[in-house]
């Protein structure tokens, strides 16, 4: 049973309850377990007590061991084909001014020819490993955050193979649309803190251009394709780089943003997969992206600042202690509205939306990689990152780079 504070309280049979005086809890800021006969604790995210000295030793919640995680490498990759607003104006009723004023987007990259999303993901991952100076053999887990895999059953194992991870580390997909990368970061921290993993690759990669209606000017102007990756590494607890997080879902909002499955009707007696018409299963596909832009805008401007404020509170930090605000790159108006709500000056907001559009789960690691490689984000900087999108899902994490 979950309550409003994020605490998970399991129902324990009375016979077991009488034998063990144990308590188990899962907070949105972490996981803990304690037994009446010991002081053992397991925590999947830490909280921090002061803005001046961000140290996990000040965490309000004890942990099993003095073990933390940190972000030590990043990389990104984009397709070679660039589509400008002027290019789009040739196929739909729009203009560069109309798009840029309403979204902040001027260009986007789109897969074409022999390009593949897997290849982008592998390229981004390799760059992250190179920066972190970690050999693929030493990777313990690959998390591919994507809603557009190249295999229905998931693409992460193919990424693992292409990277040359010889020891068959676990690799799987996380599907949470534009929130996926933040969920991947938190998952990586849990594996490191609670599972003893040492090197976890978190990759955000999406090719939403494959699900865009290129005759709909309301959506085709928004999306691009890309991949970004971060290597999360185990470290001593004193160097912990994930201070707190906050995550949510609201299935009621699915009606505002979705790409739902649909059955394809055919003229002959049998569908192409051999099913009889009118009898499920028959061959299916996903619709193009359907979005109520106004409702999604309202949702993001309301929910994202609340989530970041909640994560900051759990970390014991104030907004002034944040060096950079890094949001999912969906719309410049959303980025500006959230920054204003948090009283974050524009010079401390990371944005590359202009050049790439909305790249879904790739947008945060793509923007982070550019900021790190340009020297903007430096080791020791604290970042408030937040993703939001279809589901509806949204989440934030307070992290330190390096």
pLDDT, residue 261, reads 80
Options 118, 258, 355, 358, the catalytic residue: 358
Higher pLDDT, 323 or 263: 323
| pLDDT higher than 80, residue 124 | yes
pLDDT, residue 112, reads 94
Q: Which of 130-134, 198-202, 372-376, 391-395 has the lowest mean pLDDT?
A: 391-395
pLDDT, residue 266, reads 53
Q: Assess whether 198 carries a catalytic annotation.
A: no
Average pLDDT on 68-86 reads 97
Options 145, 165, 328, 331, the catalytic residue: 328
| pLDDT higher than 60, residue 67 | yes
pLDDT, residue 281, reads 61
Helices first, then strands: H and E counts in the chain: 10, 18
Q: Assess whether 248 carries a catalytic annotation.
A: no
Structure tokens at 98: 């109309």
Under a CB-based contact definition with an 8 Å cutoff, are residues 225 and 79 in contact? yes
Domain coordinates of the chain in residue numbers?
Answer: 65-249+289-399
Options 44, 69, 74, 178, the catalytic residue: 178
Q: Assess whether 69 carries a catalytic annotation.
A: no
Percentage of the chain beyond pLDDT 70 is 79
Q: How confident is the model at residue 262 (pLDDT cuts 50, 70, 90)?
A: confident
List of residues 6+ apart from 176 with CB closer than 8 A: 145, 147, 183, 361, 387, 389, 391, 393
In tens, the pLDDT along 151-173 reads: 999 999 999 999 999 999 999 99
Average pLDDT on 305-314 reads 97
Q: How confident is the model at residue 394 (pLDDT cuts 50, 70, 90)?
A: very high
Please give the class, per CATH, of domain 65-249+289-399: alpha beta
Q: Which of 41-50, 104-113, 331-340 has the lowest mean pLDDT?
A: 41-50
pLDDT, residue 257, reads 85
Query: Which phi and psi angles does 74 have, rounded to 5°?
Result: -145, 160
């Amino acid at each position: 049973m979950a309550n409003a504070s994020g605490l998970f309280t399991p129902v324990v049979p009375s016979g077991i309850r009488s034998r063990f005086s144990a308590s188990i809890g899962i907070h949105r800021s972490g996981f803990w377990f304690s037994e009446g006969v010991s002081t053992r604790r397991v925590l999947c995210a830490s909280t921090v007590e002061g803005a001046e000295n961000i140290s996990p030793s000040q965490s309000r919640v004890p942990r099993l061991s003095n073990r933390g995680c940190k972000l030590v490498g990043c990389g990104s990759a984009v397709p070679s084909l660039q589509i400008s607003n002027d290019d789009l104006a040739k196929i739909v009723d729009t203009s560069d001014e109309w798009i840029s004023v309403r979204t902040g987007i001027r260009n986007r990259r789109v897969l074409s020819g022999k390009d593949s999303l897997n290849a982008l993901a592998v390229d981004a991952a390799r760059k992250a490993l190179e920066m972190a100076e970690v050999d693929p053999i030493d990777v313990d887990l690959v998390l591919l955050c994507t809603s557009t895999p190249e295999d229905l059953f998931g693409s992460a194992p193919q990424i693992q193979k292409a990277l040359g991870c010889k020891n068959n580390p676990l690799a799987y997909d996380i599907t949470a649309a534009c929130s996926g990368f933040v969920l991947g970061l938190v998952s990586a921290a849990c594996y490191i803190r609670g599972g003893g993993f040492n090197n976890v690759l978190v990759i955000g990669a999406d090719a939403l251009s494959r699900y865009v209606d290129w005759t709909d000017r309301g959506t085709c102007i928004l999306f691009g394709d890309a991949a970004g990756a971060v290597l999360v590494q185990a470290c001593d607890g004193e160097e912990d780089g994930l201070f707190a997080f906050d995550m949510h879902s609201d299935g009621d909002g699915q009606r505002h943003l979705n790409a739902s499955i649909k059955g394809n009707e055919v003229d002959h007696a049998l569908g192409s997969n051999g099913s009889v018409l009118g009898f499920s299963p028959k061959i299916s596909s996903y619709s193009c992206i359907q979005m109520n832009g106004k409702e999604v805008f309202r949702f993001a401007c309301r929910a994202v600042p609340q989530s970041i404020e909640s994560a900051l509170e759990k970390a014991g930090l104030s907004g002034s202690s944040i060096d950079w605000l890094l949001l999912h790159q969906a719309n410049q108006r959303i980025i500006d509205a959230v920054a204003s709500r948090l009283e974050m000056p524009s010079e401390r907001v990371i944005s590359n939306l202009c050049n790439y559009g909305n790249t879904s789960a790739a947008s945060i690691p793509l923007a982070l990689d550019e900021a790190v490689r340009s020297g903007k984000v430096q080791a020791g900087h604290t970042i408030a990152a937040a993703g939001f999108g279809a589901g509806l899902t949204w989440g934030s994490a307070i992290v330190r780079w390096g």
